[in-house]
Amino acid sequence: MDVVEISDDNIAEILKENSKVLIDCYAPWCGPCRMLAPIIEQLASEHSDVKFCKINIDENDKVCLEYQIMSIPTILFFENGKLKKQTVGFQAKEELVELIKS
């Protein structure tokens, strides 16, 4: 499954339509974000039960305000439309797998 680019306009719809959603909050200029991107893509191909998304925080300030994103990368993990976990900073693949399974 591909990682889907989302925005302030469609995040509510994505959360409503999918039971598990992982959102990578990133910016194109962020080094750790660029390091995290291939890990997210790999996880998306391995975990079909989770919808993997990314959102550019430079272009989508509503998400930043709602989830109080102060640093990037930030990972938001939702289950049944509710925020279950929020992490800040680079996460290794194993840490993200634990996040998804917890």
Instruction: Characterize the bridge pairing of strands 4-5 and 51-56.
Output: parallel
Give the SS3 label for residue 23.
Answer: strand
What residues have CB less than 8 Å from 29, skipping those under 6 apart?
none
Distance CA 26, CA 17 (A): 22
Q: Which residues are catalytic?
A: 30, 33
